[in-house]
Amino acid sequence: MSAAAFRAESDSMGTVQVPADRYWGAQTERSRDNFRIGVDRFRWGRSIIRSLGILKKAAALANGELGQLPAERVRLIVAAADEVIAGTLDDHFPLVVFQTGSGTQSNMNANEVISNRAIEMAGG
């Protein structure tokens, strides 16, 4: 990929280059770099990715009902999560099952994909 095919993503650990055509962010990219074992064989399957979408949708709806999240944000998160549930964003979940014990990387992958897709839907 050319340099133009990447975007810079920053977090508490610094800046990392992420493929520009992907919704994941810095933490997912770091996990891809650090856990290259089994990339072609041990990626998360459709059922796990779908489950992450269901979980994030439920969290957005619950936080909306509790008044902790504005209705427009709930709408955008739910719309992006619905795309995850439907499988249209599966290519944005590149991680393998081998990661740290808590599954933080997969959780962050879902957060990054859903939030970046929601931002795009909002016109950002």
> Over the stretch 38-88, which tens digit does the pLDDT of each residue have?
777 787 889 999 999 999 999 999 999 999 999 999 999 999 999 999 999
Mean pLDDT, rounded, of the chain: 93
Residue 3: inside a domain: no
β-bridge pairing 14-19 and 6-11: antiparallel
Residue 102: inside a domain: yes
Least confident of 10-19, 20-29, 37-46: 37-46
Coil vs helix vs strand at 113: helix
Q: In total, how many domains does the chain have?
A: 1
Residue 15: inside a domain: no
Tabulate helix, strand, coil % of the chain (nearest 5).
Answer: 55, 10, 35
Residue 9: inside a domain: no
Residue 105: inside a domain: yes
pLDDT of residue 36: 77
Containing structural domain, residue 47: 23-121
Residue 10: inside a domain: no
Q: Is the pLDDT of residue 96 over 60?
A: yes
Task: Confirm if 77 and 56 have CB atoms less than 8 A apart.
Answer: yes
Which token pair is 3? 């340099």
pLDDT of residue 1: 53
pLDDT of residue 56: 99
Give me the percent of the chain exceeding a pLDDT of 90. 77
Give the domain CATH number at 68: 1.10.275.10
Residue 60: inside a domain: yes
Q: What is the pTM of this model?
A: 0.91
Residue 58: inside a domain: yes
pLDDT of residue 27: 94
Coil vs helix vs strand at 32: helix
Measured CA to CA, the distance from residue 52 to residue 55 in angstroms comes to 5
Measured CA to CA, the distance from residue 37 to residue 81 in angstroms comes to 28
Across the range 90-108, mean pLDDT stands at 87
